[in-house]
């Protein structure tokens, strides 16, 4: 290796670490937001002096307000992310998310609390929809699943932080203090992102900005495709960008199936994170034990998701996602039984791998599937449409808990969703060959070859 190539590789490695680190930190607070609501639901239900008299059904609906915001934010980011770039979306929505959390901490009514959750969700959705595209364009093709898993494991890691904060700080700071913690990114993360987060040179190239792309490539060490290896539509402004590309013939059916995969994964993720503490309290476990189950659910997702991503880079993400969905189904079916405590803990951890961990893998699969001109829209579609599942999950849990049905029915229903997710994932193989080799670079084709069969 020459000194010039060694220097470029060092710059690329340093840039990649900044991109991965900043993206992880952004999603850490996304995961914090996801779980912190579940930790405060018992308090809000028990004490009407906080935001008013709250029923379980209303609590489930409030949990969904943030997800409606996520849907709006993700789809909006997808509509403009392939037009305005990854960096701008990230910076704006780190600030937006923080302001939403701060407003939620000050609310005194059910309506204003829901409005704060909705505003927060817009920032969350835009971040989730953008980081997958960003990381896929900086990471080496043969390690994209791994780097995506590291970044998206920020979501369960944030869940762990929220559960720990609730256990340690709830009596000191109260539920409002937990939301104020979620406003910290505007002070801690935004200045770093402003200074260190580059724009994607591949995105610049896809928009026809060849001089800027070359300048960013030299500064970051991220190599641009060699001349002659990129189709003309990639070297100039693409005819179909964003959602228009997703609706084109090669991508339409796979896009629908990938959306259904994300719908299943996020229904499980949000349903379990919102209602697991309440269900476990109903089974006779104290508040700290119930929060410990939530902690274990997210820890299992982190460890299991990273291991599964390592396998996905070797065996293909599609088969791994189907397997983890099925593991979640088995674990959820076992949880209502009178299991030994250690076995119950193992089942909760496996459920975390098969729900939150599976969604981490889905984001990696999707971000690797689409070309640069449609990548942000593809990830945004799955994050946005999937959030419909996230909206349904807390509402279903609230209805079941409010009806006094108990945790058994909820776990069985979530297990059925896991099986549906596995079936949909396996169906992707039959249509994945519909993508065309002219839509992406050779590196991108190699990265998804294991998940596609020729048409």
pLDDT (tens digit per residue) in 98-127: 999 999 999 888 889 989 989 998 998 888
Q: What is the per-residue pLDDT for 229?
A: 46
**Cβ pair 394, 96 in contact under 8 A:** no
pLDDT (tens digit per residue) in 352-387: 888 888 888 888 788 777 777 777 788 888 877 887
Q: What is the mean pLDDT of the chain?
A: 78
pLDDT at 452 over 50: no
- 429 falls in which pLDDT band (50, 70, 90)? low
Q: What is the per-residue pLDDT for 92?
A: 92
What is the residue extent of each domain of the chain?
A: 3-451
Distance CA 368, CA 374 (A): 11
- 96 falls in which pLDDT band (50, 70, 90)? very high
pLDDT (tens digit per residue) in 166-199: 878 766 778 888 899 989 998 989 999 999 888 8
pTM: 0.73
Q: What is the per-residue pLDDT for 94?
A: 93
pLDDT at 85 over 70: yes
pLDDT at 416 over 60: yes
Q: What is the per-residue pLDDT for 241?
A: 67
CATH class for the region spanning 3-451:
mainly alpha
Among 3-17, 31-45, 435-449, where is mean pLDDT lowest? 435-449
**Cβ pair 127, 97 in contact under 8 A:** yes
Q: What is the per-residue pLDDT for 443?
A: 43
* Averaged pLDDT, 424-441: 51
Q: What is the per-residue pLDDT for 91?
A: 92
Q: What is the per-residue pLDDT for 377?
A: 80
- 455 falls in which pLDDT band (50, 70, 90)? very low
Distance CA 204, CA 398 (A): 45
pLDDT (tens digit per residue) in 233-263: 343 344 566 677 787 777 788 888 888 999 9
Query: Which residues lie below 8 Å from residue 313, measured CB to CB, with a gap of 6+?
Result: 142, 143, 144, 145, 146
pLDDT (tens digit per residue) in 271-301: 887 777 777 776 767 666 767 787 888 888 8
**Cβ pair 185, 26 in contact under 8 A:** yes
Q: What is the per-residue pLDDT for 226?
A: 59
Q: What is the per-residue pLDDT for 233?
A: 38
Nearest CA to 308 among 356, 260, 258, 358?
358
Distance CA 63, CA 37 (A): 7
Backbone angles phi, psi at 85, to 5 degrees: 105, 160
Q: What is the per-residue pLDDT for 52?
A: 76
């Amino acid at each position: 290796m020459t000194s010039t190539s060694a220097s470029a590789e060092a710059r690329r490695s340093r840039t990649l670490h900044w991109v991965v680190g900043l993206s992880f930190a952004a999603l850490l607070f996304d995961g914090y937001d996801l779980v912190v609501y579940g930790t405060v639901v018992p308090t809000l239900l028990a004490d009407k002096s906080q935001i008013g008299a709250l029923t379980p059904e209303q609590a489930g609906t409030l949990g969904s307000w943030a997800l409606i915001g996520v849907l709006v934010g993700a789809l909006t980011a997808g509509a403009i992310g392939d037009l305005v770039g990854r960096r701008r979306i990230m910076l704006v929505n780190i600030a937006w998310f923080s302001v939403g959390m701060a407003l939620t901490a000050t609310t005194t009514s059910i309506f204003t609390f829901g409005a704060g959750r909705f505003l927060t969700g817009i920032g969350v959705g835009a971040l989730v929809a953008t980081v997958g595209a960003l990381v896929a364009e900086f990471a080496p093709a043969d390690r994209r699943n791994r780097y995506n898993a590291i970044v998206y494991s920020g979501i369960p890691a944030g869940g762990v932080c929220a559960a720990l904060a609730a256990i340690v700080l709830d009596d000191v700071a109260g539920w409002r203090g937990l939301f104020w913690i979620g406003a910290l990114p505007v002070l801690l993360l935004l200045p770093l992102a402003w200074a260190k987060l580059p724009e994607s040179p591949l995105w610049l190239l896809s928009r026809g900005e060849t001089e800027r792309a070359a300048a960013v490539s030299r500064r970051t060490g991220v190599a641009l495709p060699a001349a002659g290896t990129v189709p003309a539509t990639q070297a100039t402004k693409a005819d179909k960008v964003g959602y228009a590309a997703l609706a084109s013939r090669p991508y339409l059916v796979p896009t629908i199936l990938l959306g259904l995969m994300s719908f299943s994964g996020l229904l499980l993720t949000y349903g379990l994170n919102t209602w697991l503490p309440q269900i476990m309290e109903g089974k006779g476990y104290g508040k700290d034990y119930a929060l410990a189950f939530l902690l274990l659910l997210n820890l299992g997702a982190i460890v299991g998701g990273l291991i599964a991503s390592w396998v996905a880079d070797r065996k293909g993400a599609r088969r791994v996602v189907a397997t983890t969905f099925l593991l979640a189904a088995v674990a959820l079916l076992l949880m209502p039984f009178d299991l030994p405590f250690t076995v119950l803990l193992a089942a909760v951890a496996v459920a975390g791998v098969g729900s939150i961990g599976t969604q981490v893998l889905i984001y990696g699969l999707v971000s690797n599937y689409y070309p640069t001109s449609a990548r942000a829209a593809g990830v945004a579609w799955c994050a946005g449409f999937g959030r419909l599942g996230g909206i349904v999950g807390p509402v279903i849990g609230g209805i079941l808990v409010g009806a006094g049905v108990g945790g058994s029915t909820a776990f069985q229903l979530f297990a059925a969703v896991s099986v549906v997710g596995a079936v949909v994932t396996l169906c992707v193989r039959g249509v994945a060959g519909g993508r065309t080799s002219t839509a992406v670079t050779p590196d991108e084709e190699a990265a998804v070859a294991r998940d596609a069969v020729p048409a």
